């Protein structure tokens, strides 16, 4: 870890920078999507409060599915950090 050449250092720095950019951009879409789903669920609960538990369950599953693109970018960022 201490004795690395200049080229290895550049590759490592580029991988770390790429990991940060990957997480930053990959977190945009799931953030917007989950907020949208939560807002729609709020509207649904306000319209029909008797279905609140069903709406909450569906909302959680939908959020977990729409979160998956963010999780893919997390996996790619971890690969970039730990395998270069």
Residues of this chain that interact with another protein (CB under 8 A) are: 1, 60-61, 64-65, 67-68, 71-72, 74-75, 78, 82
10-14, Cβ contacts within 8 angstroms, sequence gap of 24 or more? 11/84, 12/84
CB of 73 to another protein, least distance (A): 9
Choice between 46 and 57, CB closer to another protein: 57
CB nearer to another protein: pick between 18 and 67: 67
CB nearer to another protein: pick between 4 and 60 = 60
The minimum distance between CB 45 and another protein, in angstroms, equals: 19
b/e per residue 2-31 (b: at least 16 CB within 10 A): eeeeeeeeeeeeebeeebeebbeebeeebe
């Amino acid at each position: 870890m201490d004795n690395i050449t200049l080229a290895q250092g550049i590759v490592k720095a580029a991988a770390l920078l790429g990991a940060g950019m990957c997480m930053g951009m990959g977190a945009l879409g799931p953030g917007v999507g989950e907020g949208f789903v939560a807002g729609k669920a709020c509207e649904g609960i306000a319209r029909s409060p008797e279905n609140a538990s069903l709406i909450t369950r569906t909302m959680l599953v939908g959020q977990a599915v729409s979160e998956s693109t963010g999780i893919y970018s997390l996996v790619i960022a971890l690969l970039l950090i730990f395998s270069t």
